[in-house]
Amino acid sequence: MTTTVGLTETEKQSLEEIAHPSLPEGSSIYGGTKVFPDYQAENGETYFTLVHGIAHESSVSFVAILQATRAQRKGFESAIYFYGPGSLNCLATRGFPTTGNSAFPGEHNINSSLKTFIDEGGKVYCCRFGLSLHGAREEDLIEGVIPTHPLDVQDALIHYARKGAIINSTYMF
């Protein structure tokens, strides 16, 4: 039961109008039917992700990494290309008060997910120009991240399109 000490009568009334929570923990409020088949990669298929999203400013970058990892686990040759502000996702120097320390739960989700992706055979590219726009240094990249020239963004897209890759392009500004 919630304590009502210090609450006004209208605050108490508002709390008591509808039970909170109205359903016990573990209640299903969404169906579980998956509509599309759980596709697996066919021989030689590729999945390419472009990320132009700032780390921790939205879930876009993190979800893109999770999707690329899932595609890789389905058998797709998988690669992620971070450019523009997305390049900041590739920094190993995240942490406070020192690198590696998480100032909040989940601060290192992106780092951990990229390390897992690389360890499982994925390629991660990071635009040097994107790093330079934000004063980030190439030597601060997560181990295994491949630094790229600014002109590589377009040519990587052409490369993977010519391979017939499924292309997931995320963009945040």
Q: What pLDDT is recorded for position 173?
A: 66
Q: What pLDDT is recorded for position 58?
A: 74
**Would you say the pTM of this structure is higher than 0.85?**
no
Closest of 95, 91, 92, 89 to residue 52, by C-alpha: 89
Domain boundaries, the chain: 48-170
61 SS3 class: helix
Q: What pLDDT is recorded for position 2?
A: 63
| Sequence-ordered list of residues with C-beta below 8 angstroms from that of 60, at least 6 positions apart, any chain | 51, 53, 170, 172
For the chain, 173 residues long, give each residue's pLDDT as a single digit of tens.
Answer: 567 789 999 999 998 898 877 888 888 878 888 888 899 999 999 999 999 988 877 789 999 999 999 999 999 999 999 999 999 999 999 989 999 999 999 899 999 999 999 999 999 999 999 999 999 999 999 999 999 999 999 999 999 999 999 999 998 86
Using an 8 Å Cβ cutoff, are 90 and 82 in contact?
yes
Q: What pLDDT is recorded for position 1?
A: 57
Classify 48-170 by CATH class: alpha beta
